[in-house]
Amino acid sequence: MKRFSMMLAVSLAVSLVVVACASMQSGGKDLVTRAVSAQGGADALAAVKTISYKATVRQWEPEQSAKAGGEMRLAGDSTVAAVTDVATGATRMDWVRNFQYPAPRTFTFTEIVTREAGYVAGVDSNGRTKQSREANPPAHSMSSLRLATVQRELLAASPLLALEMSKSPDRVTAAPSVTIGGVQYPAVDYRVGGHSLTVLFDPATGLPARVRALDYDNIWGDVTWDVVLADWQTVGTTRIATSRKYELNGRTVMDVKLSDITVNTPVAADRFAIPAPFLATARPAAAAGVPYQWIIRRQFIGTYLDSDQPSYDTQSSPGLKLEEIAPGVQHVVGGSHNSLIVEMKDYLIVFDAPVSDWQSTWTISAARGKYVRKPVKYLVLTHHHMDHAGGLRAYADAGVTIVAGQGTAEHYKKVLAAPFSRNPVMTASDLSRTSIVEVTGKHVLTDGTRQVELYVLDPNPHADGLLIGYVTDVKLGFVTDIWSPGAGPLPDKLNPALTSLVTGVKKAGIEPAKFAGGHGGTADYAPLAALEGK
């Protein structure tokens, strides 16, 4: 028995090598041909004119965890009803998204995506563009970045991907096989419309098993983004995967289960119609430079700003700018996420590295322009979340010391050791020797004149080890996510996040007059403190 299974294993391995060699010689086209026939054959697939289904979608966000490098946060559970018209390439998705994080809420909206344009009817995010805020009822055209992203994701998961590849053999090239979980998957690369996908095939069935993109993640650098196809069902004369699990670097962050799949159910053309004013402002899909992971994962938590510039709304903001909020203190504003620059005698301290290394590069160069010959010496990261720490590499590259909260240094060490060859604005270098100071309780940065104090806000409901800053001479605090000063009116009473700030300020024994925020602007502290006990 043992001998038999060994022989079987050897012969299977040999046949795999044979398949792999044959497909390398054929440029991988035999793998595509096999997949097409495993899905019912070219004629059956070509007869598919529309595909409709319902699905449940569960998403987790690994870089909004409570603990740095810790368990992923459940982002939410959604349902979607989708329909695709194969001939025009149009897809409509009607969503009900129930978010758990950053706050429980439900967004009900529709996405319509064609080859030329993308459109959203309804509110799909807390980060809304000017057009979305002004439209009545709310609606907006998709940015070029989002359209490219949705198109790529629809393509990767398309039941007709193998057929499409078989019709465009010039876009298919053989790829080295990939071993996952002890299984060796023969693979091809498929390049189309600025997208680059690697399709891995099930060696046993020949069906597409996984479609991989090599993405850039602003925390983990070079990452793999796989849609794992499984639970194939016969629908009409074709076979369609009813399970789509999305893996970011091997961790499942999205689980999609399809039901009620039908093909060739007639769909009225107006279901795919984008209203004229939104078609007029729609942007063509970006051909390159798409930060796919930012766009996909900000949508996971309902905070995506659908703009051609990820840092700010191009419709309402001329860009990032420095705002002097106290002598020698600049608030970097104009975008969805802010930093704070504090001038010291011979150097600068920057709080937070939000969004991307593009934004960090902007901030570093603006700081240089304002304070000539004063280098950024410290980058204080209030917490590890991807949207406030994702631009840390540009600072590390500039030689800063990173100052971070309790229990986070090991995480940042790992992050800075990760390869980042696909970083859109930086060339890869060794950042693993960046010095990191971990703050326990309180830490003081001083030049003998000005003093900047850092306090770990413990406990707080947002992120373990979260830091707040305090510039003593100007009585100015800096806070991220726990409070967004000036972003809206204060609530009637303190919520758990605001309570942790008020308690933390008291415990620290500081007397801030104002706070500047990682979001929002600046606001007086007294009205917030006055809510205590209400």
Residues found near Zn ion in the complex (CB under 5 A) = 385, 481
Q: How far is the CB of 467 from Zn ion (least distance, A)?
A: 12
Distance CA 231, CA 240 (A): 8
- Nearest residue (CB) to Zn ion, 146 versus 385: 385
Spatial contact of 209 and 224, defined as CB atoms under 8 Å apart: no
Smallest separation, CB 385 to Zn ion (Å): 4
> Cβ of residue 387: shortest distance to Zn ion, in angstroms?
7
Q: Given phi > 0 = left and psi -120 to 50 = alpha, else beta, which region is 101?
A: beta
Cβ nearer to Zn ion, comparing 94 with 464: 464
Written as one letter, the residue type at 484 is: S
Give the single-character DSSP code of 306. -
Nearer to Zn ion, 308 or 458 (CB): 458
Question: For 155-190, b where at least 16 C-beta lie within 10 A, e where not — what string?
Answer: bbbbbbbbbbbbeeeeebebbebbebeeebbbbbbb
- Name the β-bridge partners of 279: none
464 and 67 in contact (C-beta within 8 Å)?
A: yes
CB of 386 vs Zn ion, minimal distance in Å: 9
Closer Cβ to Zn ion, 118 or 517, answer by number? 517
**Measured distance CA(350)–CA(377) in Å, rounded:** 8
Q: For Zn ion, give the closer residue by CB, 94 or 481.
A: 481
CB of 481 to Zn ion, least distance (A): 4
CB of 82 to Zn ion, least distance (A): 31
Could you give the C-alpha distances from 167 to 163, 237, 432, in angstroms and in order?
Answer: 6, 19, 46
Closest approach of Cβ 519 to Zn ion, in Å? Answer: 9
Instruction: Name residue 308's amino acid.
Output: D
Secondary structure of 51-66 in the HEC alphabet? Answer: EEEEEEEEEEEHHHCC
Query: Whose Cβ is closer to Zn ion: residue 100's or residue 110's?
Result: 100
List % helix, strand, coil for the chain (3-state, nearest 5).
25, 35, 40
**Closer residue to Zn ion, CB minimum distance, 238 or 480:** 480
Secondary structure (DSSP) of 164-232:
HHHH-GGGEEEEEEEEETTEEEEEEEEEETTEEEEEEE-TTT-SEEEEEEEEEETTTEEEEEEEEEEEE
Minimum distance from CB of 389 to Zn ion (Å)? 9
Task: Please say which residue, 209 or 381, places its beta carbon nearer to Zn ion.
Answer: 381
Minimum Å distance from CB 264 to Zn ion? 46
In the bound state, the residue with its beta carbon closest to Zn ion is: 385
Residue closer to Zn ion, measured from CB, 23 or 480:
480
Q: Give me the DSSP letters along 437-496.
A: EEESSEEEEE-SS-EEEEEE--S-SS-TT-EEEEEGGGTEEEE-SS--TTSSPPPSS--H
Q: What does DSSP assign to residue 100?
A: -
